Each structure stands twice: as C-alpha cells, then as structure tokens.
Structure 1
Amino acid sequence: MLAIARFAVLYVPLHIWNGNFQPKRAAIAADIQSADITNDQMQTGILVGRYARQLSKRVPFTANCLPQALAVKWYLGTRNIETVIRIGARTSRSAKPFDLHAWLLLGNTCLTGAQERASYAQFGQVNSADL
C-alpha cells in the first residue's frame, strides 16, 4: 500500500483522491473523538502506523509523510477505523517556500508524522467540495 500511496502522490491528480483528507461519516466541525474509538481500534492504528514508519525506511523509493499517512489511512479504512489526515506548513521563517508536512490522526493520537508535527502549523479544514 505504501507504493500505491507514493504513486498516487506523484501521478494522480489531487482532485481524484482529495476525499482521503476527510472522515467518511458526516462530522460537523469536529474530528473523530477519542471517546468514539475502541481500545482495539487504537491499538491497531498505533501498530499499523509503526509498521508504515519502519517500512518507509526500507523501501527503494521515498515514502515520506504523505504516502505514509495515505497508506495507513487506506489500510485502517478497510478495518472501518476512521482517521483524519492533516497538512501543515513549517512555522520558522527560514523554511523553504513550500515546506509542508502531513500527519494522520486517530482521535487525538498521531499515527504518522508525529515527530515533525510540532514545527508545523496545521492548515484549516478543507472540504472536498471546496477544491
């Protein structure tokens, strides 16, 4: 799945897969709450996130934050575990013009991209219809 996610990031137009950034169910303005997540779902999410991070270091292509987040989101979706991808920009002034980062949240738990997340400011929520 990591290779498919990397391919999607590189070659598939954003409007085709941009629905991956929103939870499937209609959530008004809130993310999926931690109270809605079972212990088994949380353990599965943490384990799959760890596997994706470890695997990304061993594949013969660059599997940075967005392919990791997409792959884990897609896999957990097959298990009916809803997650949310967040994207942000680096907050320091010395950053490259488009220094972006993606991370995957299951409730309040960051499954991928947690280490770098602190130095990025999250963009506002974007609805698929707005793109």
Structure 2
Amino acid sequence: MSRFSKSSGRKAARFFHKPAFTKYWFIPVWLMLGFSRLLIVMISFRRLAPYLGRAVGLSAYSHLLTGDQEAQALRIAQVIRLTAHYCPWVANCFPQAITARLLLGLYHIPYSLYFGLCRDPETSEFKAHAWVTAGRIPVSGGQSFHLYTVVGCYIKS
C-alpha cells in the first residue's frame, strides 16, 4: 500500500469521526470559501461592504449570546478552520471572514466583522487582517485585537 493511500485513509477515518455539523457543512463551506474568494477578486470593496453588515467605524462591539448561540458559533468556527485547509485557492482571513458572516447570518447569530492593520516589525510594511467574533467566540481570524489596530467594523445584531 502506498504512503499516499495510507495517509488518505487516515484522513478519511478522522473526517468520519468529526461531528455531524462538520460533515454536513464541509462541502458547502468549501464552496462558500471559493465564492468568497471570487467576490474579493472580482468586486471592489466598496461594492462588497454593504453586504458585510452595518458599518460602525472603528468601534469594537461584543454582542451577548445565549449558550446555544455560543455553541453554534464554535461549531461554525471549527468547520471554517478545517475546511480552509483543504482549499486549493487562497482561503486566508478575508474569505474566511465572509464565510463566517454568511453562516452566522444564516443561523441568526449576532456578529462583528473587523478589519485591522499592523506594521510588521521586521519589514516595516503594513499587514492587514480580517476577523469575526460572535460574542466572546472568535469565529474566524482568532483573537486579533492585541495584534492589529481596528480600522473598520461591521456588525449584525
């Protein structure tokens, strides 16, 4: 048996041990990440921004969620993180943030989508990042407040 088939078999076995939510949403999230990437490449930010939520400037918002909403936000975060590893296209922070926004909106979970900047200490170049939180749950992009200065925030309550 080749090394490739052993590795693929282990990955498939691990996948089938994932929660039902992850297995159900894996393909749709994979497609959403591709669609999000396509939107980013094809459409200007100005035209995309109204679909991200209500712009609130530089303010940081944290919504209060129920226990069920927090649990759902965690499941959404897990499936996005897992699926992004299997995309043959760039599925970095921005496509993940758009996908998180879509799924959280679908489940009627309030969210905040942030854009931030920081200066790389080694190259002095600016780095941009996008992340989404739902209450205290980092849905995509991790806990980035300590690394990046917020330059824009979009919310849905």
TM-score, length-scaled by structure 1:
0.77
- Is the contact between residue 49 and residue 112 of structure 1 (CA under 8 Å) also seen in structure 2? yes
CA gap 1:69/1:126 in 2 versus in 1, 3 angstroms: closer
More deviation, 113-122/45-54: 113-122
| Equivalent residue, structure 2, for 1:84 | 112
2-structure distance, mates of 1:4, 1:48: 17
Identity across aligned pairs (percent)?
A: 23
Q: Tell me by how many angstroms 1:45 deviates.
A: 0.9
Return 15-24 or 56-65, whichever deviates more: 15-24
Measured against aligned partners, the alpha-carbon deviations of 1:12-60 in whole angstroms (never above 9, x if no partner) come to 1112220244359x9xx672422xx111111111111111111111111
**Letter of the aligned partner of 1:8 in structure 2?**
L
Question: Distance between the aligned counterparts of 1:95 and 1:120, measured in 2?
Answer: 16
2:84 — aligned with what? Answer: 56
Judged with a 3 Å threshold, the aligned counterparts in structure 2 of structure 1 residues 74 and 124 are, in CA distance, closer, same or farther, namely closer
* Distance across 2 between alignment mates of 1:31 and 1:97: 28
Structure 1 gaps, min length 5: none
Shift of 1:126: 7.2
Say which one has the larger Rg.
2
**Residue 115 of structure 1: CA displacement?**
5.6
Alpha-carbon deviation of 1:108? 2.8
Deviations 1:70-129 (A, max 9, x none): 1011111111112111011124443553310111011232111116553222225479xx
Mapping 1:5-16, distance limit 5 Å? 5-16=36-47
Q: Name the CA distance, whole Å, in 1 between partners of 2:51 and 2:110.
A: 10
Answer 1 or 2: which has greater strand percent: 2
- 2:33 match: 2
- Residue of structure 2 in register with 1:111 after alignment: 139
Confirm or deny that 1:41 pairs with 2:69.
yes
RMSD: 2.7
Q: What number of residue pairs does the alignment pair up?
A: 122
User: TM-score, normalising length from structure 2?
Assistant: 0.66
